[in-house]
Amino acid sequence: MQIKNFFMLFASLVLLEITSFASNLKDSLSIGFNTYSDNADVQVYSPEFALFKTLSSQWMVGLKMRIDAISAASIKNGSSASHVDVVTGASPSDKPYDDIRYAPTLMATYDDGENLLSFGAYYSNEIDYEGKAVFVNYVKQLNEQNTALGIGVSQSFDTWKPVFKRDLPNDFRNENKIDISINQLISPTFSVQAVYSHMVSEGFLSSPYHFVAQDSFSRFENYPSQRTGDAYALKGVTMFNENNTMNLAYRYYSDDWDISSQTLNGEFLHRFTKDVTSGLRARYYTQTQANFAKDVGNYSVTDTYFAVDYRMSGFDSYTIGIPFIYNLHDGSKLTASIDYYQTSDNAHIADWYGVSRLNAIFTTLTYNLDY
């Protein structure tokens, strides 16, 4: 479906979330609700729940559950609402939502103050896609806990289940990812983190619904069956004083499809009172086009690969948001955020979605309790 990669991004962050929850080895509970809406008629409503329970001073187990209720034309008919679905022949759905995705994660953590080990399994099931993954993350504290060396490995085993009958070249999509990181405390108010990531994907890596429709022919989208990429990230966090904090991050990515991207993130937080913190964050992203992708209307019937998804083209995107934290008097807290996302004008977006660029709103609201 059109938004599968959006969800895969959240799945790829599970390891980082585990580390942040597990570092204090506290019993904790969180309940949240997230939303996503864009001008391509995609809406997502996502309740989530997480529970972490300590078994001893060094062991903790956790469960996280996320449900995504999705409305998207790509699920109903395999294409944008602006396209006549003569290629897929799929039938619209009369249900309130076009898909509901269930995604539980189970995990365990060991922490003895110098060694932190987290491991677990992730499962996701939706109308046309089943995802399974295992992961392990190890962090070693050095230099009186001023230095942390980390390594994380994950392996996914996913399966496509298109909503209409179609013989795919492969019905699987697997990805292996390794992250190597170092975090250094430079001073009591400044720290730096560097991360290297290596990713290998194989199987059916395009969408089973996207298709090229030109005057003389129609073809389903088709990508190479393997993709290898590397990413380098650098992040700095500084505390100006007890009320003001800033973090900046830069990430460079490149792969063997000749896609290279650069991402710049910045966030400033100000504590207005002892209970209220808010601020502003911004993100800029830019990437080049895949080596097999062509401009809209330039494919020929003899081409091996076809790309319709705008994420295979060159484009820029911008995000600006407001985070909010409210500490409740019982030790719990509320966190919330709202972000606005926009891409640059793109011919592939215009051709498939009928709008010149994508605009989207993300919101989050979470209640966290340590007990």
CATH code, domain with 265: 2.40.160.40
Task: Give the amino acid at 308.
Answer: V
> Is the pTM above the cut of 0.85?
yes
Mind listing the pLDDT tens digit for each residue in 24-59?
688 999 999 999 999 998 999 999 999 999 999 999
> What percentage of the chain reaches a pLDDT higher than 70?
87
Alpha-carbon distance values, 18 to 51, 61, 207, 356 (Å): 11, 10, 30, 38
Q: Which of 329, 336, 290, 345 is nearest to 313 (CA)?
A: 290
Q: Residue ranges of the alpha helices (H) in the chain?
A: 4-12, 14-22, 73-77, 347-353
Mind listing the pLDDT tens digit for each residue in 56-86?
999 999 999 999 998 875 544 444 444 433 3
Q: What is the residue-averaged pLDDT of the chain?
A: 88
Q: Which domain holds residue 263?
A: 4-370
Count of structural domains within the chain: 1
| Token pair of 310 as six digits | 């705008």
Per-residue pLDDT of the chain in tens (371 residues, 90 and over written 9): 434 443 333 333 333 333 433 346 889 999 999 999 999 989 999 999 999 999 999 999 999 999 999 887 554 444 444 443 334 333 344 566 678 999 999 999 999 989 999 999 999 999 889 999 999 999 999 998 899 999 999 999 999 988 877 888 889 999 999 999 999 999 999 999 999 999 999 999 998 888 888 878 888 999 999 999 999 999 999 999 999 999 999 999 999 999 999 999 999 999 999 999 999 999 999 999 999 999 998 999 999 999 999 999 999 999 999 999 999 987 899 999 999 999 999 999 999 889 999 999 999 999 999 88
